[in-house]
Amino acid sequence: MKFSVDKHDKYVTLKLEEHKFTNDNAPGLKSEFYLLNAGGFKNIIVDLSYVTECNDAQDLSCLLVGDRLCKSAGGLFIVTGINDELASIIELSNIFQSVTFVNTIDEATDFIFMDELEKEFRGAK
């Protein structure tokens, strides 16, 4: 599985560099979510802009794992870079009811920084 990780102070961006989202790369992605979360990253952005094909909504269930890990750590899990084909599968799978989707990485980082500021104002960590 090909992917890149870009670590920042408040978040990490994971970019899947595969054209197909399949049951071959979904377990590796899930493992990476666990590693990043164990490494102290509670805010994860997943960029799927390279992905042009996904044949089974089951493959997308690994995104729910990332979302659960981030939420339990008090952070955010955000997916970006969704094309029309992926959007229709996501809609059918109802994953959008749990996972946060935005259009761009910039929107995702803004979302994270706003959430961090809000927590700061409320006195939460």
pLDDT score of 125 more than 70 = no
Residue 89, token pair as written in the block: 């599968």
* Residue 91 in this model has a pLDDT that exceeds 90: no
The mean pLDDT of 70-87, rounded to a whole number, is 94
Q: pLDDT (tens digit, 9 = 90+) per residue, 19-70?
A: 998 888 889 999 999 999 999 999 999 999 999 888 777 888 899 999 999 9
Structure tokens at 22: 């399949």
DSSP 103: S
User: Does residue 23 sit in helix, strand or coil?
Assistant: coil
Share of the chain above pLDDT 90, in %: 67
- Output the domain CATH number for residue 110: 3.30.750.24
Mean pLDDT for 68-76 is 96
Q: Six-digit token pair at 64?
A: 């729910």
Number of structural domains found in the chain:
1
pLDDT average, residue stretch 84-97: 86
Structural domain of residue 103, as residue ranges? 3-122
